[in-house]
Amino acid sequence: MIRIFKTEDGIMHEKDELQPGSWIAMTNPTASEIIDIADMYQIDPDHIKAPLDEEERSRIEVEEDYTLILVDIPSIEERSGKDWFVTIPMGIITTNEVLITVCLEETPVLTSFMDGRVRDFHTFMKTRFILQILYKNATQYLQYLRIIDKKSEVIERKLHQSQKNSELIELLELEKSLVYFTTSLRSNEVVLEKLLRTEKVKKYPEDTDLLEDVIIENKQAIEMANIYSGILSGTMDAFASVISNNLNIVMKFLATVTIVMSIPTMVASFYGINVNSHGMPFADSPYGFGIVLVLALLLSLIVAFIFNKKDLF
């Protein structure tokens, strides 16, 4: 899908046709859409396709007629009815006439610009626009990191009550998300540092300050991801130990119960064997079997009491 936007008098407008100074937003574009834009602005089609590969690395490609900036952005993926946090590539291509963004899916990083919720934003100021997108991307990471932190707190409270493996698996998924975030943020950091040394991008005097703000936000997101990852890892280790210990206690309890409960069965089985009853206790009494069962139960209670005293229950 291709959408065309242009700011006029400080207001965002969606256009039906391409104009100089426009922003072309390509979301999961088709092959024909890629070829059309590539031919129109003399762009290598592979550079437009690059952000559509989830394994593509963050980088900058400076060509004669355009510049490609590829960064990772945070995204929410739904699995088994739950939201998980991942990262996907997003491409920003700037030409002499237009700015093009390419992404596999719609993202809050870009929709905030489409909806006109970003101040001091002009599509024709392409280098400024690039930095504003990168700043929004860094703040989006911070927002999702806070959500991850809150979700982990909710799961931890559940673990205090239930201590189920399902909660540990949820924490493991959150920890994986933090790893994805940290890796992507570090890759973006390399791109930002390279942008800081690229004079072609810093067209307006305020752009250097804005770029430095982007770098600071990105570093803050990296630090936050590392802190949350460390806390989450420690929490998982602690609860895994508790669950393992509880499992050992349960297994020991079940083994003890099995031994105790088997005593009456063994005694009853012994009396039920077809053997000579001469000399067996209570063999000649009409209440003998009942007496034996009562004695067996008493013996079971004595064994259970001894096990309890020895903390085997």
Q: State the pLDDT at residue 312.
A: 46
Distance between CA 21 and CA 18 in Å, rounded?
A: 9
Point out the least confidently predicted range of 26-30, 237-241, 296-300: 237-241
Confidence of residue 128 (pLDDT cuts 50, 70, 90): confident
What mean pLDDT comes out for the span 146-154? 86
Q: State the pLDDT at residue 93.
A: 94
267 contacts 296 by C-beta, under 8 angstroms: yes
**DSSP H or E run through 27:** strand 23-27
Kindly give the interhelix angle for 205-272 and 288-309, rounded to the nearest 10 degrees: 150
Point out the least confidently predicted range of 151-155, 190-194, 292-296: 292-296
Assigned domain for 19 exists: yes
Assigned domain for 108 exists: yes
What mean pLDDT comes out for the span 116-141? 86
Q: State the pLDDT at residue 87.
A: 93
Assigned domain for 75 exists: yes
Assigned domain for 151 exists: no
Q: State the pLDDT at residue 212.
A: 86
**DSSP H or E run through 170:** helix 165-196
Print the domain residue range for 21. Answer: 1-124
Distance between CA 151 and CA 174 in Å, rounded?
A: 8
Assigned domain for 254 exists: yes
Distance between CA 69 and CA 95 in Å, rounded?
A: 12
The residue from 101, 124, 147 where one domain ends is 124
Q: State the pLDDT at residue 8.
A: 83
The residue from 124, 145, 166 where one domain ends is 124
What mean pLDDT comes out for the span 305-310? 61
Assigned domain for 204 exists: no
For residue 70, what is the domain's CATH number?
3.30.460.20
Q: What is the pLDDT of residues 188-225, one digit of tens each?
A: 999 988 887 776 655 666 777 888 888 899 999 999 88
Q: What percent helix, strand, coil does the chain show, rounded to 5?
A: 60, 15, 25
The residue from 79, 103, 124 where one domain ends is 124
**Angle, CA 135 vertex, CA 134 and CA 136 arms, to 5°:** 90
In the chain, the number of structural domains is 2
Question: Is the pLDDT at 38 greater than 90, yes or no?
Answer: yes
Point out the least confidently predicted range of 1-10, 83-92, 103-112, 303-312: 303-312
The answer to whether the Cα torsion of 184, 185, 190, 191 is positive or negative is positive
Assigned domain for 41 exists: yes
Q: What is the pLDDT of residues 225-259, one digit of tens each?
A: 888 888 777 666 655 555 555 555 555 555 555 65
Q: State the pLDDT at residue 313.
A: 47
Q: State the pLDDT at residue 277.
A: 54
Question: Is the pLDDT at 271 greater than 70, yes or no?
Answer: no
Q: What is the pLDDT of residues 154-200, one digit of tens each?
A: 877 776 666 556 667 777 788 888 888 999 999 999 998 888 777 66
Of 212 and 93, the structure prediction assigns the larger pLDDT to 93
Assigned domain for 66 exists: yes
Question: Is the pLDDT at 9 greater than 50, yes or no?
Answer: yes
Q: State the pLDDT at residue 267.
A: 58
